[in-house]
Amino acid sequence: MTTEILTHEHALEQQAAALKTTRGMILALRVTDAVSFTQMAQAVKEAKTYLKGVKDFMGPIKESAHKTWKLSVEREKMLLAPGEEIIDHGERELVAWNLEQTRLAKEAAEQQDKERQRLEAEAQRLADVAQARLKAASEDAVLAAAAAAEAMGDTQTAEKLMEQPILTPTVVRAPVFLPPVQVQAPPRVEGLGFTVTWKAELTSMMDLVKAVAAGTAPISLLAFNDVTANQMARATKGTLAIPGVRFKEVSGMRTAS
């Protein structure tokens, strides 16, 4: 630091010490008459003059530091660029391929499920046909036995054969086996993995407002834009009425330097 800067900084430190000395008294002061009004106004002016001096002194220092910071940021950005480009491109490609493999796996599983259902239905149809044939064969055998007994004059046996229930072996549907779905899974790479997150996207502000008004969505989803509202307040000066918004005057103070 130069001697001039050190001298200026020392002067500011002395002013700061003086303000600290009177700070307690000023903060305890209440404006109740013309004398206290003048005293408070003078204290505000002195404080603002002090603040201006601090800002004027620190401005060039901050600007120099900001330039150094900007150069550092630009240098860092340049050095990071190659790696970030690789990561950005690589992650897009990896996620896209993984999503495609997931889609293919789901599609293959759905197709396999349809094929399984088709094969099971066909196996059941064949089992039903075989069951019907066995039943018909059993009935034919009983009829033939009864006819033979009746031909031999044994009507009692023939009647018993016709009255007893016909037992037919149950045909069980053949099991269906399908090979597992073959979809190429991402190879395992240490330190890399895939995540699934959920995000919200606004599709219609009006629909959202209606939902909040109806109580089906939380009011926290609606953010009050105070910047726009304050601009409207300054432009209309209280002549505009908006439900839920109150425009008001706020008194302030300016001090000439």
- What is the tens place of the pLDDT at every residue in 195-244? 888 888 889 999 999 999 999 999 988 888 899 999 999 999 989 888 88
CA 183 to chain centroid: 28
CA distance 125 to 90: 52
State the average pLDDT for the chain: 87
Mean pLDDT, residues 190-199 taken together: 85
Residue 66 has pLDDT above 80, yes or no: yes
Kindly tell me if the per-residue pLDDT of 1 is higher than 70: no
What per-residue confidence (pLDDT) applies to 163?
Answer: 83
CA nearest to 29, candidates 44, 39, 16, 15? 39
The per-residue pLDDT for 109 is 87
Q: What is the pLDDT of residues 114-153, one digit of tens each?
A: 999 999 999 999 998 998 898 888 888 888 888 888 888 8
More confident residue, 254 or 132: 132
* pTM for this model (two decimals): 0.55
Higher pLDDT, 1 or 104: 104
Q: How far apart are CA 221 and CA 243, in angstroms?
A: 18
- For position 83, what pLDDT does the model report? 94
- What average pLDDT score do residues 91-114 get? 90
pLDDT > 70 in the chain, percent: 98
The whole-number pLDDT of residue 20 equals 87
Quick check: 257 pLDDT over 60?
A: no
Segments making up each domain of the chain, as ranges: 3-177, 200-248
Most confident of 79-83, 97-101, 178-182, 239-243: 79-83
5-9, 25-29, 111-115, 216-220: lowest mean pLDDT where? 5-9
Is the model's pLDDT at 12 over the cut of 90? no
